[in-house]
Chain A
């Protein structure tokens, strides 16, 4: 059953058709990859799914409920987390504080202290442990390296206990050891039941990690299937090598 899906999305920016009746569907519990050459519309699709862009036509559905054009905070509250290609963390806050921002809950305890409950504080530390950033928890997030920022973003998206996470180029600009570490963390979380949709250029990363791969080109989906199939697919090869 499709957990998150975009049906027939079209989106244009001025004269450029970024998405053209594109349909993408992600199954619950899977790690799905979304690949395609530069300019194929992958990030736009992400933006549309998470409410950062409005659609010209088409629908986005979560568990068969329409969520098209909802604002990012509503999308977030429905359990969809998202990271960005150029990490968006809060540079002037400490690593731990970044975690607490993401764990926003509207209750009274929050008026008195940084976090809403000891449970939240524990969970924040646990997650920082999970991504290996615990010793840096009081450091200003802006001083982290790029890879560390990616881990932080990953961690604070998790603190809201999302059911599905959209990762925008998690392996981009990061060294090979870190890439493996990230893949490992993703697999572990997936085992605990979190669904993933991953946009990536790093083919090895995608092929080793994902159950299913979707390929986009020029705003539409041109292929989908298991990694091995996609590798052999002539249309895909053409898209990458063709233009």
Chain B
């Protein structure tokens, strides 16, 4: 029974971290109608940045976020400016391919700098654990989850309580109308993209603290993130949250009930099932007919 409980608890806690990474992805789609398939690579980049800060300067992982978050935010702005904004026609399709190119470059650079060896982030709260209801839970899972809660909470406040957030939500609903009422949609897009990448940095730290990783880990990661946002409904933040939590819990439970080997396959089977039943995802919008 306790392993069952452990699976659910870790599922929820890791789900929170995935929600953090997936939120950036779905937010960017909602505002800009583009799919950043480089999000996986950017998460790994964030993980490596935290790794570098910790190894070289011995900066605590969470404190290091104060550096990596702004850094990645700026990187996001630059990527948007140089690679996304020039795309004029066929935006969504080309953005997938362009961000893929960016992901390849990032992966290549990371591979060159850090080699293909697996690394893992170190800290006291990763190795120490606490006894919860009969099993041992590493502190990092709790801290990571709290980080996710804090950042997602901040995101929520930003979107619903600030003027900027209002502009973001307006752009999400109707780009043209938002422009007509004076919202600088380009600037909103750039900043949103930056936020998405900054969230990736945070998610990267949490991910790197709980998984061994190397430059090639991005493929598996992005495929999961994409599955999550489709499951939840593309463009929906609550969808990303619900999807992350449920999919991770189901995966972890499958892992103990059946086998770890099949757990990740189940993850994707869930995606296929939702597509059969409800192609737009849990909270997505059904496709109307174009006139």
A–B touch (CB < 8 A): the answer is yes
Q: Which residues in A have some Cβ–Cβ distance to B below 8 Å?
A: 43, 47, 51-53, 72, 84
Q: Please measure, in the bound complex, the distance between the C-alpha atom of A84 and the C-alpha atom of B289, giving whole angstroms.
A: 14
How many residue-residue contacts, CB under 8 A, span A and B?
A: 10
Known: A52-B290, A52-B291, A84-B291. 7 other contacts (CB 8 A): A43-B291, A47-B291, A51-B289, A52-B289, A53-B289, A53-B291, A72-B289
Q: Please measure, in the bound complex, the distance between the C-alpha atom of A105 and the C-alpha atom of B290, giving whole angstroms.
A: 24
Q: Please measure, in the bound complex, the distance between the C-alpha atom of A47 and the C-alpha atom of B291, giving whole angstroms.
A: 7
A84 contact set on B, CB distance < 8 A: 291
Nearest CB of B to A113, in Å: 30
Q: Please measure, in the bound complex, the distance between the C-alpha atom of A52 and the C-alpha atom of B289, giving whole angstroms.
A: 6
A52 contact set on B, CB distance < 8 A: 289-291
For the complex of A and B, the 6 pairs showing the least CB-CB separation, nearest first, are: A52-B291, A52-B289, A47-B291, A72-B289, A53-B289, A53-B291
Q: Please measure, in the bound complex, the distance between the C-alpha atom of A53 and the C-alpha atom of B290, giving whole angstroms.
A: 9
Q: Please measure, in the bound complex, the distance between the C-alpha atom of A84 and the C-alpha atom of B290, giving whole angstroms.
A: 12
A47 contact set on B, CB distance < 8 A: 291
B290 contact set on A, CB distance < 8 A: 52
Nearest CB of A to B27, in Å: 23
Nearest CB of A to B67, in Å: 45
10 contacts between A and B (CB under 8 A): A43-B291, A47-B291, A51-B289, A52-B289, A52-B290, A52-B291, A53-B289, A53-B291, A72-B289, A84-B291
Interface of B: prevailing SS: loop
Q: Please measure, in the bound complex, the distance between the C-alpha atom of A52 and the C-alpha atom of B291, giving whole angstroms.
A: 6
0 or 1 for each of B247-291: is its CB under 8 Å from A? (1 = yes): 000000000000000000000000000000000000000000111
B291 contact set on A, CB distance < 8 A: 43, 47, 52-53, 84
Q: Which residues in B have some Cβ–Cβ distance to A below 8 Å?
A: 289-291
Q: Please measure, in the bound complex, the distance between the C-alpha atom of A44 and the C-alpha atom of B270, giving whole angstroms.
A: 39
Nearest CB of A to B242, in Å: 25
Nearest CB of B to A95, in Å: 22
Nearest CB of A to B88, in Å: 15
Q: Please measure, in the bound complex, the distance between the C-alpha atom of A105 and the C-alpha atom of B159, giving whole angstroms.
A: 52
A53 contact set on B, CB distance < 8 A: 289, 291
A51 contact set on B, CB distance < 8 A: 289
B289 contact set on A, CB distance < 8 A: 51-53, 72
A72 contact set on B, CB distance < 8 A: 289
Q: Please measure, in the bound complex, the distance between the C-alpha atom of A60 and the C-alpha atom of B289, giving whole angstroms.
A: 18
Q: Please measure, in the bound complex, the distance between the C-alpha atom of A47 and the C-alpha atom of B288, giving whole angstroms.
A: 12
A43 contact set on B, CB distance < 8 A: 291
- When C-beta atoms are compared, the residue in chain A nearest to B291 turns out to be A52
Q: Please measure, in the bound complex, the distance between the C-alpha atom of A53 and the C-alpha atom of B291, giving whole angstroms.
A: 8
Nearest CB of A to B171, in Å: 18
- When C-beta atoms are compared, the residue in chain B nearest to A46 turns out to be B291
Q: Please measure, in the bound complex, the distance between the C-alpha atom of A43 and the C-alpha atom of B289, giving whole angstroms.
A: 14
Nearest CB of A to B290, in Å: 8
- When C-beta atoms are compared, the residue in chain B nearest to A44 turns out to be B291
Q: Please measure, in the bound complex, the distance between the C-alpha atom of A84 and the C-alpha atom of B291, giving whole angstroms.
A: 8
- When C-beta atoms are compared, the residue in chain A nearest to B288 turns out to be A53
Q: Please measure, in the bound complex, the distance between the C-alpha atom of A72 and the C-alpha atom of B290, giving whole angstroms.
A: 11
Nearest CB of A to B177, in Å: 12
Nearest CB of B to A62, in Å: 19
- When C-beta atoms are compared, the residue in chain B nearest to A51 turns out to be B289
Nearest CB of B to A52, in Å: 5
Nearest CB of B to A2, in Å: 25
Q: Please measure, in the bound complex, the distance between the C-alpha atom of A58 and the C-alpha atom of B290, giving whole angstroms.
A: 22
Nearest CB of B to A163, in Å: 22
Nearest CB of B to A116, in Å: 27
Q: Please measure, in the bound complex, the distance between the C-alpha atom of A51 and the C-alpha atom of B290, giving whole angstroms.
A: 11
Q: Please measure, in the bound complex, the distance between the C-alpha atom of A72 and the C-alpha atom of B291, giving whole angstroms.
A: 10
Q: Please measure, in the bound complex, the distance between the C-alpha atom of A43 and the C-alpha atom of B291, giving whole angstroms.
A: 10
Nearest CB of A to B173, in Å: 11
- When C-beta atoms are compared, the residue in chain A nearest to B289 turns out to be A52
Nearest CB of A to B228, in Å: 29
Q: Please measure, in the bound complex, the distance between the C-alpha atom of A17 and the C-alpha atom of B256, giving whole angstroms.
A: 54
Q: Please measure, in the bound complex, the distance between the C-alpha atom of A51 and the C-alpha atom of B289, giving whole angstroms.
A: 9
Q: Please measure, in the bound complex, the distance between the C-alpha atom of A165 and the C-alpha atom of B142, giving whole angstroms.
A: 65
Q: Please measure, in the bound complex, the distance between the C-alpha atom of A51 and the C-alpha atom of B291, giving whole angstroms.
A: 10
Nearest CB of A to B285, in Å: 13
Q: Please measure, in the bound complex, the distance between the C-alpha atom of A168 and the C-alpha atom of B290, giving whole angstroms.
A: 15
Nearest CB of B to A187, in Å: 28
Q: Please measure, in the bound complex, the distance between the C-alpha atom of A4 and the C-alpha atom of B289, giving whole angstroms.
A: 22
Nearest CB of A to B42, in Å: 35
Nearest CB of B to A67, in Å: 16
Q: Please measure, in the bound complex, the distance between the C-alpha atom of A232 and the C-alpha atom of B289, giving whole angstroms.
A: 39
Nearest CB of B to A240, in Å: 25
Nearest CB of A to B159, in Å: 21
Q: Please measure, in the bound complex, the distance between the C-alpha atom of A47 and the C-alpha atom of B290, giving whole angstroms.
A: 10
Q: Please measure, in the bound complex, the distance between the C-alpha atom of A53 and the C-alpha atom of B289, giving whole angstroms.
A: 7
